[in-house]
C-alpha cells in the first residue's frame, strides 16, 4: 500500500483534501494529520477493525489506550457515560486545546480504544486541519501519535513518513506543529482529578480551576498504575542521557572517541559535539524538542547528552518526555 501525501494550508485547509481524508476515515482507513501537539494517526474510533489497523501500523501494545478526538463538546459527551461539573469547566476553558480528559466510557466505545478499560480519553484539538477533518467525517477519531510505538513523536510530515510510510492511506501535510509535545492527560474518573501525563496545559493552569490535583509519577520503577504509562517512550534510537553539567560530560565522552550530540538551552560553545541549542523558555523548548531529537538521531551518534532543563511547573512536560526518552 502506498501513502498519498497531500499538502494543506495549516490555517485554511483545502476542502477537497479534507473531504478525501474524511472519506478514507469513513471507510475504515488510516489518515495521518497535524494537530497543535504532534501529528496523529487517525481511524474511526467506533470501528474496532479500523482501530486495529492503528495498533498494527504502530506496533503499539494492546494495553496502551488511544485518545479519541472529537469536533465538539457535545460529541465528547456522547462517548462518556458521566460528565462531571469539572469536565464541563475544563472543556469550556481549554477546548479546543491540548488537554485530554479521561472519563467513564459509553458502551459504544470499542474495548480496543480503551485497552479493555472502563474509561475513554477525549479531546478537541486546536488545529484548523484536525478540526476540519473531524467535522467533515462526522466521526470520533481515535488517534495516537503517527510514529512507531515508543519512538519519537512526529512534529512534521517528514517525521511521519520516516516512521510509518506504508501503513497510512493518506497524510495531510500541514507543516510543522506549533506545540510540539503531546497533550496533558487528566483522569476525571477517579475520586480526585489525577494527572496521568503532563503536557502543554500546565498543572498550575489546571489547579487554578480545580484546586489541588493528584499526580501519577513516571520517574520511578513502580508498577504501572494506569494503562499507557510506559516508562520508556518518546525515545530516539540513540542512547540519551540528561545531566546537570552537560559541557563537562560532552567533553569527557568526546575524549573517549564517542560521537556525541549535545542538546542544550544555554549557548555554551562547541565542545566537539553535534550541537543543537533550543530556546530557554519552556514553550519554545517544547516546540523544538522532538525536531531536535529527530535531527540528532539522523546523524548516527553514539550518545545524545541533554542539559537538565530548569525545574518548575511549566517545564514539567519537557522533563517527563526527556526522562522517558532516557530510559533503557
Ligand atoms: P499517545 O499514544 O501519545 O496518543 O498517548 C495516549 C496516552 O493517553 C496514553 O499513553 C495514556 O496515558 C493516555 N490514555 C489514553 N486513553 C486512556 C484511558 N482510557 N485511560 C487512561 N489513560 C489513557
Ligand atoms: Mg505516542
Instruction: Compute the distance from residue 257 Cα to the ligand 1 centre, in Å.
Output: 40
Spatial distance between the Cα atoms of 12 and 174, rounded to a whole number of angstroms: 10
Phi, psi of 68 (to 5 degrees): -100, 125
Grid cell of 116 as nine digits = 479493555
Whether 196 is in a domain gets the answer yes
- What value does the mean pLDDT take over residues 131-159? 96
Query: CB under 6 Å to ligand 1: residues?
Result: 64-65, 67, 102, 114, 117, 119-121, 144-145, 182, 185, 196-197, 226-229
Res 232: pLDDT: 67
- What value does the mean pLDDT take over residues 246-269? 92
Whether 278 is in a domain gets the answer yes
Contacts of 227 (CB under 8 A, 6+ apart): 63, 64, 65, 114, 115, 117
Spatial distance between the Cα atoms of 152 and 290, rounded to a whole number of angstroms: 7
Residue 28: burial class (beta carbons within 10 Å; 0-12, 13-18, 19+): middle
Both 211 and 320 in one domain: the answer is no
Whether 233 is in a domain gets the answer no
- What value does the mean pLDDT take over residues 189-212? 95
* Closest atom, ligand 1, to C-alpha of 197: 12
How far is residue 201 from each of residues 125, 162, 248, 253, 283, measured CA to CA in Å?
Answer: 13, 29, 34, 36, 11
What confidence tier does 225 reach under pLDDT thresholds 50, 70, 90? very low
Whether 235 is in a domain gets the answer no
Both 151 and 258 in one domain: the answer is no
Res 252: pLDDT: 95
CA neighbor of 246 nearest in space, from 322, 328, 327: 322
Ligand 1, atom 12: closest residue by C-alpha = 228
Handedness of CA 140, 195, 114, 170 (dihedral sign): positive
Whether 225 is in a domain gets the answer no
Ligand 1, atom 13: closest residue by C-alpha = 228
Res 229: pLDDT: 62
Whether 226 is in a domain gets the answer no
Both 211 and 244 in one domain: the answer is no
What confidence tier does 221 reach under pLDDT thresholds 50, 70, 90? very low
Both 170 and 76 in one domain: the answer is yes
Selected residue with higher pLDDT from 2 and 67: 67
Q: Which of 178, 200, 215 is the last residue of a domain?
A: 215
* Closest atom, ligand 1, to C-alpha of 230: 10
Q: Choose one of 141, 185, 198, 201 to mutate for the ligand 1 pocket test, by most ligand atoms within 8 angstroms of C-beta.
A: 185
- Based on the structure, what is the number of domains in the chain? 2
Spatial distance between the Cα atoms of 272 and 278, rounded to a whole number of angstroms: 18
- What value does the mean pLDDT take over residues 23-34? 98
Ligand 1, atom 10: closest residue by C-alpha = 228
Instruction: Compute the distance from residue 233 Cα to the ligand 1 centre, in Å.
Output: 12
CATH number at residue 23: 3.90.870.10
Residue 158: burial class (beta carbons within 10 Å; 0-12, 13-18, 19+): middle
Res 224: pLDDT: 42
- What value does the mean pLDDT take over residues 7-19? 96
Spatial distance between the Cα atoms of 311 and 216, rounded to a whole number of angstroms: 18
How do 31-34 and 39-44 pair as beta strands?
antiparallel
Both 247 and 202 in one domain: the answer is no
CATH number at residue 276: 3.40.50.11030
Whether 281 is in a domain gets the answer yes
Both 104 and 177 in one domain: the answer is yes
Res 219: pLDDT: 45
Ligand 1, atom 11: closest residue by C-alpha = 228
Both 147 and 286 in one domain: the answer is no
- What value does the mean pLDDT take over residues 243-256? 94
Grid cell of 46 as nine digits = 467506533
With a cut of 70, say whether residue 223 has pLDDT above it.
no
With a cut of 50, say whether residue 180 has pLDDT above it.
yes
With a cut of 50, say whether residue 125 has pLDDT above it.
yes
Alpha-helical (H) ranges within 165-258 are 203-210, 246-255
Both 63 and 174 in one domain: the answer is yes
| Domain assignment of residue 60, given as a range | 4-215
- What value does the mean pLDDT take over residues 58-62? 91
Both 128 and 11 in one domain: the answer is yes
Selected residue with higher pLDDT from 232 and 255: 255
Instruction: Compute the distance from residue 204 Cα to the ligand 2 centre, in Å.
Output: 24
Spatial distance between the Cα atoms of 2 and 219, rounded to a whole number of angstroms: 39
Both 57 and 145 in one domain: the answer is yes
Longest dimension (CA), the chain: 60
- What value does the mean pLDDT take over residues 226-251? 82
Q: Which of 180, 215, 250 is the last residue of a domain?
A: 215
Whether 271 is in a domain gets the answer yes
With a cut of 60, say whether residue 167 has pLDDT above it.
yes
With a cut of 50, say whether residue 174 has pLDDT above it.
yes
Selected residue with higher pLDDT from 222 and 89: 89
- The string of pLDDT tens digits covering residues 262-317 is 999 987 777 788 899 999 999 999 999 999 999 999 998 999 999 999 999 999 99
Both 141 and 34 in one domain: the answer is yes
Both 189 and 248 in one domain: the answer is no
Amino acid at each position: 500500500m502506498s501513502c498519498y501525501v497531500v499538502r494543506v494550508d495549516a490555517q485554511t485547509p483545502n476542502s477537497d483534501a479534507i473531504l478525501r481524508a474524511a472519506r478514507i476515515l469513513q471507510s475504515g482507513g488510516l489518515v495521518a494529520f497535524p494537530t497543535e501537539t504532534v501529528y496523529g494517526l487517525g481511524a474511526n474510533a467506533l470501528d474496532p477493525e479500523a482501530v486495529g489497523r492503528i495498533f498494527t501500523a504502530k506496533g503499539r501494545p494492546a494495553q496502551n489506550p488511544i485518545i479519541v478526538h472529537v469536533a465538539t463538546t457535545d460529541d465528547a459527551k456522547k462517548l462518556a457515560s458521566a460528565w462531571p461539573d469539572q469536565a464541563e469547566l475544563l472543556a469550556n476553558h481549554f477546548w479546543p486545546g491540548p488537554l485530554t480528559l479521561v472519563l467513564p466510557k459509553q458502551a459504544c466505545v470499542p474495548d480496543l480504544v480503551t485497552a479493555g478499560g472502563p474509561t475513554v480519553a477525549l479531546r478537541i484539538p486546536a488545529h484548523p486541519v484536525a478540526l476540519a477533518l473531524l467535522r467533515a467525517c462526522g466521526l470520533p477519531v481515535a488517534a495516537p501519535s503517527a510514529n512507531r510505538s515508543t519512538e519519537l513523536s512526529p512534529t512534521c510530515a517528514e517525521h511521519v513518513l520516516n516512521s510509518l510510510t506504508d501503513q497510512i492511506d493518506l497524510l495531510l501535510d500541514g507543516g510543522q506543529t506549533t506545540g510540539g509535545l503531546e497533550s496533558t492527560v487528566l483522569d476525571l474518573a477517579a475520586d480526585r482529578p489525577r494527572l496521568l501525563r503532563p503536557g502543554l496545559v500546565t498543572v498550575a493552569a489546571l489547579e487554578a480551576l480545580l484546586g489541588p490535583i493528584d499526580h501519577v509519577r513516571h520517574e520511578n520503577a513502580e508498577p504501572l498504575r494506569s494503562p499507557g504509562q510506559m516508562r520508556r517512550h518518546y525515545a530516539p534510537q540513540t542512547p540519551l542521557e540528561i545531566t546537570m553539567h552537560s559541557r563537562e560530560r560532552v567533553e569527557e565522552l568526546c575524549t573517549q572517541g564517542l560521537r556525541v550530540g549535545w542538546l542544550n538551552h544555554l549557548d555554551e560553545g562547541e565542545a566537539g559535539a553535534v550541537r543543537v541549542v533550543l530556546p530557554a523558555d519552556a514553550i519554545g523548548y517544547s516546540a523544538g524538542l522532538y525536531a531536535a531529537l529527530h535531527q540528532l538521531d539522523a546523524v548516527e551518534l553514539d550518545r545524545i547528552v541533554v542539559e537538565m532543563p530548569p525545574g518548575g511547573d511549566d517545564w514539567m512536560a519537557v522533563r517527563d518526555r526527556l526522562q522517558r526518552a532516557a530510559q533503557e
